[in-house]
């Protein structure tokens, strides 16, 4: 696959242009016109994930055989959100499935059933149409339907954001039906996910680059999502916070080695530059990079 280079400025200009087009269309539309999930006309090279989800530890680069069943665990997230999770621990490959499912959902009116062909869906996320991948996709659909988030988003003064609601419980997908004869899934997406994409509160993921990650680069894929949550060119994250967010249970020495390798992969794909580990102004180790 030929690499498509896009500068940070080009992507931001595209987002501003699309947001303006959506707002103009909304101003002209009849009040009864069904709303879209987010940004109608989302370009094929992009996928989107709400910032509160992308910054959290919901999806993490965990090994398939080491997954836990959580019952209301508080996820690692940014300070203005408390997210509790019930369900089987989710990994980066399942993040791909969810982003692609939401991408399919944004092509039609909010609340309408989302019909996907399983072979085409697997190809879209960079997987082969072998039998084992079909079984994996079905297990992932079950895990996403079972997974539930209870989200409380607050303003800086500690009060709940009215746009989100004091408490909101959402399944990653509301449910699905599988038609074995036609080999299609019909997904149901909760309408309330729409509010999680409001006010451009989402990370834009370059899908072409995501499909170019090398094997065993799940930490790099997780960092790609984190990088996309901020418009800041220079980004800094404390190592202890990153270790918790990435659900990394091995010693800090091994974590630093894995983090260094992940940053090299992000540099190879020109997602970041100058990735390094250095001391903060308080003497604490932190990861630092420049977003491209």
Q: Is residue 111 part of a domain?
A: yes
- Grade residue 265 by pLDDT with cuts at 50, 70 and 90: very high
Q: Tokens 């398939």, residue?
A: 64
Q: Which residues pair with 117 in a beta bridge?
A: 184
In contact, 120 and 183? CB cutoff 8 Å: no
State pLDDT tens for residues 108-134. 888 899 999 999 999 999 999 989 999
**Whether residue 197 sits in one domain with residue 221:** no
**Whether residue 185 sits in one domain with residue 110:** yes
pLDDT score, position 108: 82
Q: Which of 47, 56, 35, 44 is nearest to 149 (CA)?
A: 56
Residue where a domain terminates, one of 158, 191, 206: 206
**Whether residue 233 sits in one domain with residue 258:** yes
Identify the domain containing residue 238 by its residue range: 212-292
If one counts every other C-beta atom within 10 angstroms of the C-beta of residue 45, the result is: 16
Give the residue-averaged pLDDT of 61-76: 89
**Whether residue 195 sits in one domain with residue 112:** yes
pLDDT score, position 28: 56
Residue where a domain terminates, one of 164, 186, 206: 206
State pLDDT tens for residues 134-190. 999 999 999 999 999 998 876 655 555 544 456 889 999 999 999 999 999 999 999
pTM of structure: 0.84
Domain at 242, CATH number: 1.10.10
Residue where a domain terminates, one of 162, 190, 206: 206
State pLDDT tens for residues 199-242. 778 899 999 999 999 989 999 999 999 999 999 999 999 999 99
- Grade residue 63 by pLDDT with cuts at 50, 70 and 90: confident
């Amino acid at each position: 696959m030929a690499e498509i280079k896009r500068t940070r400025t080009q992507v931001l200009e595209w987002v501003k242009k699309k947001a303006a087009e959506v707002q103009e269309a909304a101003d002209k539309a009849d009040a009864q016109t069904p709303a879209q999930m987010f940004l109608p006309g989302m370009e094929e090279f992009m996928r989107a994930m709400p910032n509160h989800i992308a910054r959290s530890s919901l999806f993490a680069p965990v090994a398939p055989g080491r997954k836990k069943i959580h019952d209301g665990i508080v996820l690692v997230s940014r300070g203005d959100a408390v997210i509790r999770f019930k369900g089987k621990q989710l990994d980066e490959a399942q993040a791909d499935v969810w982003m692609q499912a939401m991408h399919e959902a944004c092509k039609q009116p909010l609340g309408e059933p989302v019909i996907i062909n399983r072979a085409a869906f697997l190809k879209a996320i960079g997987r082969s149409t072998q039998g084992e991948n079909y079984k994996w996709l079905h297990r992932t659909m079950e895990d996403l339907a079972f997974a539930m988030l209870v989200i409380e988003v607050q303003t800086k003064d500690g009060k709940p954001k009215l746009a989100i609601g004091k408490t909101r419980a959402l399944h990653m997908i509301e449910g699905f039906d599988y038609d074995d004869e036609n080999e299609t899934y019909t997904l149901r997406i909760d309408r309330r996910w729409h509010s999680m994409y409001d006010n451009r509160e989402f990370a834009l993921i370059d899908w072409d680059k995501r499909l170019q990650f090398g094997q065993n680069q799940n930490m790099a894929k997780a960092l790609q999502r984190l990088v996309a949550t901020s418009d800041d060119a220079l980004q800094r994250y404390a190592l202890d916070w990153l270790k918790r967010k990435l659900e990394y249970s091995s010693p800090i020495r091994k974590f630093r080695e894995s983090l260094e390798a992940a940053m090299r992969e992000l540099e190879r794909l020109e997602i970041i530059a100058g990735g390094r580990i250095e001391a903060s102004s308080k003497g604490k180790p932190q990861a630092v990079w420049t977003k491209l």
